[in-house]
Amino acid sequence: GDGNVVTTEIVGEGKHPYAIALSDRVMMAWATSDSIVIANIDPGTWDYSTVSITPLTEPNHPLLTYSLTDGKVITVWTAVNVDEDVYYAIIDPGTSPSDQPSVIEQGVLISWTGDQEAHGLTSSSVNQWLVVFKDYSDGEEDLKALIVLPDSEYVGDEGIKLFFLPRDGEAYLDFIVNDLLENAQNEILAAVAYWRGTQIPNKLVEKKAAGLDVKVIMDDSASNSDARSILEGGGVEVIDDDNTDYSMHDKFVVVDSSRVLAATVNFIEDDFTKNNNTAIYIESKALAYFFKGEFNHMWAGNFHTDKYEDHSFLTFINYQGRVITIEGYFCPQDYGDKNRVANVIASYISSSTSNVRLAHYIFTTGWAVQPIISAIEYAKSNGVDVKAVFDHWMNLDTNGRAAYELLDAGADVAFSLHKYSLHAKIFSMDDTVAVIGSLNPTTTGVTKNDEYVLIIRDPDATNGIAKQVADYITALFNKYYSTTWTATYPVINEVMFYPDNSGTPTYEWVEIYNPTNEDIDLTLYRIGDIDNVFSDDEGLYAFPEGAVLPANSYIIVAYDASAFYEVYDFKPNYEIVDSDPTVPNMVKVLTDKFTGDWNLDDSGDEVLLIKASPYDPEFLIVVDAAWYGTSTYLSNPVDVGGISEGWSIERQEAGLDAPYAGTVFLLNQNPTPIPEEYVALVVLITVAAVIITLVLKREFKA
């Protein structure tokens, strides 16, 4: 108080001193070449006593914090020039300044790939503290925090259940109806985007009639109308997001404030029985508390960017003798760090050392999810085993998709080659970290839609949650991975893009092939020379009502049927301009978005075969695409350099497909459009040959 400065000298080696003041003493930490020294200093006498934490290798920059709750001191430091990890120790300072401090425990706190340096420390107890550190694991300097929290919630050996669909589809539906809902006592809160079918709505009506508080939030989608009628007809309260631009895309149920079902699964039959999905059930009051908070916030009318509460959480579950850490995040994140969810997921990916697995319905290249893509590419470049599986309907042959960024970076990528959907939204890192949620990694998903994400850290790398997720993804990858395959969907087989030097589309045509054994209804199909599914200055055309592509057959869409007949002496199946009254016309659609007309560029362009959603005609899915020459639609276009007029591009084999058009298309100097009657003739000849063979065999045996 009188302005005097008192000094004392501590003899010996030391660097990087750090001191804190307690009510009766000063405590100081410093580093030597092989230890961290902690000292009690009596401000009355300036005497001191020390304890050394040894043996260490080049420790640096110790930090100290004191916990008033339990009277202990925590110290953290960084080992430099060795592993650049962060270490910690808990110190008992003793009851008086003259006591020698003692070490209660010590160990490694943060040990990730790359370097970490501790820079900040605070605590409320030895069980609750926070370390701020710099992390260089992704090659950049990132500021991160590690939070240490106490205790864990015991959930019992049956308190967590994992479901992988469609394998577990029947068991999953039975669990929802006959366990989760049937055993509910007081309250059922369901926030699930899409509903079709009667079993779950009827069970909810039954529980409402039994006196339970039952509330449902769903997306504002016409496809939900039948289920909503059942629910509201039975007295269940139902609301939606009243928004056709964005989605209430959550898929979770909270029962009795203690049970949570979180899934990638909608309440529709295909998601249970046909589509690839994942769900997790957890008995946890902590988890239920935060999910219920998010539900109630939406129930009050706060959807999408109107949300102003953050219900993200961190909780610890004691399950089968091990502690599982669960982080939870809710979207949209349309304020502050809009990349928060993506950055968190990316941090786990970039810190992986062994393997990364991912399976996704749709994964775009939007700015909000670029950190995840960059982290995957970084992990791949560091020798981490990366395997990715994507739904082929939403990703194959579609620009703006992460699948192609990863393919271009050399990652192993597979597409789900079945007629249904890979609807999962999951990651696994090093068999110990799993990400499960409703969130498709897209900018809209992160910043506009109502979504949830769980990041689950399970130390059991043998059969824990993350390991099971990894095994599920790996099995999908092994089933579908191939550099080429026979398509299970209609494909563009041949494109006449350069019929002459006129620059007009008069003699242009496209041949489409159905490689399946089933007729394909073309009612929802479109074709265009557009370069994306949102808007373009070129044209998009729908097939006329009743159009069908027969099994194992070809159809031809010509720009001008009369011009086509002039060259090939037979008529195409459809035409874009009305030149022949006997040939059905394609119908120009969505002209407010696709404002131009068909005209393929001789030097480079693309042709897209598209399917519209039955529930939203403006939601377009690329079924197949052919791109060539100077087109930048995707990488590896068909090389058409040096060709002359009259050439086409054609698949090497009918139905052969691959991620890149340049892999499967060849130049054809003599275009060969196939008339429908030719296919019928081939089929007839084949059948006749089989019959003759059978007759001859029978005669021979006789």
Q: Per residue in 553-565, pLDDT tens? A: 999 999 999 999 9
Give the pLDDT of residue 686. 44
For 300-334, letters b (16+ CB in 10 Å) and e give: eebbbeebeeebbbebbbebeeeebbbbbbbbbbe
| 434, 465 Cβ separation under 8 angstroms | yes
Same domain, yes or no, for 185 and 113? no
| 595, 530 Cβ separation under 8 angstroms | no
Same domain, yes or no, for 657 and 570? yes
Q: Taking residues 277-291, report their average pLDDT.
A: 97
Is residue 702 domain-resident? no
Indicate the residue among 149, 174, 199 that finishes a domain.
149
Least confident of 230-234, 298-302, 305-309, 452-456: 305-309
Residue ranges making up the domain that contains 23: 15-149
Q: Is 656 exposed, middle or buried (0-12, 13-18, 19+ CB in 10 A)?
A: middle
Is residue 268 domain-resident? yes
> What is the rounded CA–CA span in Å between residue 281 and residue 273?
19
> What is the rounded CA–CA span in Å between residue 492 and residue 526?
12
Does the pLDDT at position 382 exceed 50?
Answer: yes
Same domain, yes or no, for 368 and 250? yes
Does the pLDDT at position 680 exceed 50?
Answer: no
pLDDT digits over 573-621, tens only? 999 999 999 999 999 999 999 999 999 999 999 999 999 999 889 999 9
Partners of residue 650 on adjacent β-strands: 494, 666
Here the tokens at position 12 are: 């010996």
Is residue 698 domain-resident? no
DSSP string of 159-202, one letter each residue: SEEEEEETTTHHHHHHHIIIIIITT--SEEEEEES-B-SSHHHH
Does the pLDDT at position 256 exceed 50?
Answer: yes
pLDDT digits over 201-251, tens only? 999 999 999 999 999 999 999 999 999 999 999 999 999 999 989 999 999
> What is the rounded CA–CA span in Å between residue 68 and residue 689?
92
Same domain, yes or no, for 88 and 169? no
Q: Taking residues 275-282, report their average pLDDT.
A: 98
Is residue 260 domain-resident? yes
Same domain, yes or no, for 501 and 391? no
> What is the rounded CA–CA span in Å between residue 295 and residue 237?
13
Strands 213-218 and 237-240: parallel
CATH assignment of the domain containing 379: 3.30.870.10
Say whether 692 sits in a helix, a strand or coil: helix
Comparing C-alpha atoms, which of 183, 162, 454, 159 is closest to residue 294?
A: 454
Here the tokens at position 573 are: 């199946």
Same domain, yes or no, for 666 and 545? yes
Question: Which residues contact residue 218 at a Cβ distance below 8 angstroms, ignoring those fewer than 6 apart?
Answer: 191, 192, 193, 194, 195, 224, 227, 228, 238, 239, 240, 248
Question: Which residues contact residue 39 at a Cβ distance below 8 angstroms, ignoring those fewer than 6 apart?
Answer: 10, 27, 28, 29, 48, 49, 50, 101
Is residue 6 domain-resident? no
Is residue 312 domain-resident? yes
Same domain, yes or no, for 416 and 516? no
Give the pLDDT of residue 10. 77
Mean of the per-residue pLDDT values of the chain = 92
Overall number of domains in the chain: 3
Is residue 468 domain-resident? yes
CATH assignment of the domain containing 92: 2.115.10.20
Same domain, yes or no, for 469 and 544? no
Note every long-range contact of 584-588, with CB atoms under 8 Å and residues 24 or more positions apart, other chains counting. 584/544, 584/547, 585/544, 586/527, 586/541, 586/542, 586/543, 586/544, 586/557, 587/541, 587/542, 587/543, 587/544, 588/539, 588/540, 588/541, 588/542
Same domain, yes or no, for 529 and 578? yes
Helix (H), strand (E) at residue 75: strand 72-79
Q: Taking residues 56-84, report their average pLDDT.
A: 86
pLDDT digits over 29-51, tens only? 999 989 999 999 998 888 999 99
Does the pLDDT at position 694 exceed 70?
Answer: no
Angle at which helices 225-233 and 199-209 cross, to 10°: 20
Same domain, yes or no, for 260 and 359? yes
Location of structure tokens 């589809």: 169
Indicate the residue among 149, 170, 202 that finishes a domain.
149
Give the pLDDT of residue 678. 56
Give the pLDDT of residue 1. 46
Does the pLDDT at position 691 exceed 80?
Answer: no
Same domain, yes or no, for 411 and 525? no
For 628-654, letters b (16+ CB in 10 Å) and e give: bbebebbeebbebeebeebbbbbbeeb
Is residue 686 domain-resident? no
Q: Which amino acid is at 473?
A: I
Q: What angle do CA 211, 212, 214 make, to 5 degrees?
A: 130
Same domain, yes or no, for 56 and 138? yes
Q: Taking residues 64-86, report their average pLDDT.
A: 86
CATH assignment of the domain containing 614: 2.60.40.1260
Least confident of 372-376, 513-517, 658-662, 678-682: 678-682
Location of structure tokens 């994942």: 278
Give the pLDDT of residue 690. 45
Q: Which amino acid is at 181?
A: L
Does the pLDDT at position 687 exceed 50?
Answer: no
Indicate the residue among 439, 464, 480 that finishes a domain.
480
